[in-house]
Each structure stands twice: as C-alpha cells, then as structure tokens.
C-alpha cells in the first residue's frame, strides 16, 4: 500500500488525541517528543484533507495548558522531594545541573519563564512542576501558561501547516523520503521561531537588569 493511502486510513480523531496526550504528558513533566509529534501532525494535516489544522492546533493547545496546570499542581504539592525523585527516575533530563539552569531562568524571568519555556525543550518539561515547587502565584502561572500554550502550539501548527501547503507541489507523490524532507523543513522553521523567542527572552532579561 502506498504511504499516502495508508495515512488516509488514520482517523483524524486519533491524531488529535495523540497530539493532545503526548504534549500534555510532556508539559506535565514527562520527557516525550511533543514538538516532533506536533510538527509531524501539522505536516500530515497539510497533506491529508481529513485532518483539520484548527482542531489539531486546538488539541495541542489544550494538551499544553492542561498538562502544565497538572504539572504545577503536582510540583506545588511535591516540592523539592519531587525534583529529587525525578532526578533519580530521569537523570538525563532532571539532573541537578538542568534543574539549576531552569531555576535560574525562573529567578530572572519570573512568569515569563513559563511563556518562553514553551519554545525550549528543557524548560517545556520543567515549567509546570518547577513553577509549582517555587510556589509561583497561580494567577501569574495561568496567564503565562495560557498565552504560551496558544502561541507555541497554535503558532507551530500554523507555520508547519503552511510550510506543508507550499511544499505540496514537490510532495504530491508522498513517500517516506518526502516526509523526512518535509520534517526537516518544518524543524528548520521551528529553530527560527526558537531563536526569536530566545532573543526576546534576552531582551527581557536586559530590561529587568
């Protein structure tokens, strides 16, 4: 069976659920490839008419906001012992060095660390739990969480979706090679977005200093 024909058999609701679930779990503090899943699904939406990019973006946004909120609640209840436990379970992601780096980001940027953390893989995992551990006021966390979820998830979906539309002419014969090429183009676009977010964060840091 041709790859395109196989992809057309994947129910749209399954794609929405997978994206929301993976991004939600990643935002909660579990190291998962949420960004890769979102980029791949947005590219798939650009090639498969039965997947609605608006619903896809909404699913990703909901997963991001809900996951971060649950992570915040867990972090607030678990405190420092939770970070120590995560360090033992996931030493690669929750090492003392990574936690210290994330904590410095929170000290410098405050609630904006939650917002800009959406664009950085390390902070995306830490943001919710660490905000809870540091007892950031929930209203501040919620504002940054919602704005960050909308801009990151919605923006990523829109950018990658339109990249796929533009590339449709050379991806008409959808194949695994074409998919790999498209993912590379999409990831390059995301790197540009991340650089802009990083510059914005540095500007904010300079202003606060």
Going by pLDDT thresholds of 50, 70 and 90, the confidence category of residue 3 is very low
Going by pLDDT thresholds of 50, 70 and 90, the confidence category of residue 81 is confident
Going by pLDDT thresholds of 50, 70 and 90, the confidence category of residue 92 is low
Higher per-residue pLDDT: 178 or 115: 115
Place of tokens 């992601």: 93
Going by pLDDT thresholds of 50, 70 and 90, the confidence category of residue 54 is very high
User: Does the predicted model carry a pTM greater than 0.75?
Assistant: no
The candidate with the shortest Cα–Cα distance to 162, out of 193, 184, 189, is: 189
HSE toward the beta carbon, residue 23, CA cutoff 13 A: 33
Higher per-residue pLDDT: 150 or 76: 150
Kindly state the helix (H) or strand (E) to which residue 88 belongs, with its residue range: helix 53-89
| List of residues 6+ apart from 168 with CB closer than 8 A | 46, 47
Higher per-residue pLDDT: 61 or 49: 61
Going by pLDDT thresholds of 50, 70 and 90, the confidence category of residue 2 is very low
Question: What is the spatial distance between Cα 118 and Cα 197, in angstroms, rounded to a whole number?
Answer: 9
* Residue 130, pLDDT above cutoff 50: yes
State the residue range of the domain holding 67: 3-208
Question: What is the spatial distance between Cα 50 and Cα 53, in angstroms, rounded to a whole number?
Answer: 10
| Total number of domains constituting the chain | 1
pLDDT at 41: 85
What is the pLDDT averaged over residues 147-172? 80
């Amino acid at each position: 069976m041709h790859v395109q024909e196989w992809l057309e058999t994947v129910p749209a609701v399954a794609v929405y659920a997978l994206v929301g679930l993976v991004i939600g779990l990643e935002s909660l503090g579990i190291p998962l490839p949420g960004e890769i899943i979102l980029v791949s699904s947005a590219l798939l939406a650009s090639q498969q008419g039965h997947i609605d990019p608006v619903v896809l973006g909404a699913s990703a946004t909901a997963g991001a906001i809900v996951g971060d909120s649950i992570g915040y609640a867990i972090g607030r209840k678990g405190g420092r012992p939770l970070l120590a436990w995560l360090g033992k379970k996931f030493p690669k992601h929750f090492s003392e060095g990574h936690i210290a780096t994330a904590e410095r980001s929170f000290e410098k940027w405050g609630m904006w660390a939650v917002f800009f953390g959406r664009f950085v893989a390390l902070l995306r995992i830490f943001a919710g739990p660490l905000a809870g551990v540091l007892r950031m006021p929930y209203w501040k966390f919620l504002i940054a969480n919602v704005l960050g979820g909308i801009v990151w998830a919605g923006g990523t979906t829109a950018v990658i979706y339109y990249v796929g539309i533009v590339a449709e002419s050379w991806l008409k014969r959808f194949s695994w090679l074409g998919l790999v090429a498209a993912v590379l183009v999409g990831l390059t676009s995301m790197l540009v977005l991340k650089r802009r977010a990083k510059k914005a964060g540095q500007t904010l840091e300079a202003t606060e200093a």
